[in-house]
Amino acid sequence: METSLHDALKAARRSAGMSQAGLADRAGCKQSAISMFERGRTDVLAWEKIVRIAEILGTDIRPYAAHMIPTVLDDGRILKCCTNFACERNIPRMIADRLMVRPTFLYAADDADTFCPECLAKMISRCPNCDSPVKRGNGCSACGTPYVVCSIPGDVSQVANWVAARRREIRDAMAMNEEFRTDD
Ligand SMILES: [Zn+2]
Ligand SMILES: [Zn+2]
């Protein structure tokens, strides 16, 4: 009787007497995302959002988290990010003629390895250069080291073209993922 994560959260929502729209409202996402998620498209919601939904519904998702991401969710969980340049959750952008990649973040326990739910790369919780804790952003706020090392050769115009193509590629792949925002 293996219940899946989306079935468990769907059942929890129903027993809480909450509509998809009501849950979406509280979790800060679209009703359509909840709908797709409940039908098994667990990739439409970012992990942090799934955690938030589970909190709202009072559901313990650690048994599922262990399956989806090998770590334990707890109050002491910390921010980690994926530093894989090829990861489809890591979104490239041009900032003042410089290629930057915004990594994907999630909260996870400090004392366990965490692997990116997209590319399975081991995620980092500390700056590889100065050991400062990972914070949201393109790179370390303490020493300026980018979290994702970019390796596209060529001049600025070629890089810009590559970024545009890569963003389209990622947008297509993650069309339903509301975490993708072109906020530049
Ligand atoms: Zn990744
Ligand atoms: Zn640093």
pTM over 0.75: no
CA distance 37 to 32: 8
Rg for the chain, CA atoms, rounded = 18
Q: What pLDDT does residue 83 have?
A: 94
Kindly indicate whether the domain formed by 5-68 is annotated with CATH number 1.10.260.40. Answer: yes
Q: What pLDDT does residue 125 have?
A: 93
Sign of torsion, CA 11 13 14 15?
positive
Q: What pLDDT does residue 22 have?
A: 96
Q: Which two tokens stand for residue 29?
A: 């996402």
Q: How far away, in angstroms, is 130 Cα from ligand 2 center?
A: 4
Starting from the CA of residue 147, give the closest ligand.
2
Q: What pLDDT does residue 154 have?
A: 67
- Digit-by-digit pLDDT tens for the chain (184 residues) are 357 888 999 999 999 999 999 999 999 999 999 999 999 887 788 877 888 899 899 888 766 654 454 333 445 788 899 999 989 888 888 877 778 888 988 888 887 899 998 888 999 999 999 998 888 778 888 898 999 988 776 677 788 888 888 888 888 876 655 555 444 4
Sign of torsion, CA 44 45 50 52?
negative
Q: What pLDDT does residue 178 have?
A: 52
80-119 burial, b at 16+ Cβ within 10 Å, e below that, comes to bbbbbbebbbbbbbbeeeebbbbbbbbbbbeeeebbbbbb
Query: Which ranges constitute the DSSP H helices of the chain?
Result: 5-15, 20-27, 31-38, 47-57, 62-68, 156-173
Q: What is the largest CA-CA distance in the chain?
A: 57
Domain limits, CATH 1.10.260.40, in the chain? 5-68
Starting from the CA of residue 105, give the closest ligand.
1
Q: How far away, in angstroms, is 104 Cα from ligand 1 center?
A: 7
Q: What pLDDT does residue 68 have?
A: 53
Please tell me whether residue 122 adopts helix, strand or coil conformation.
strand
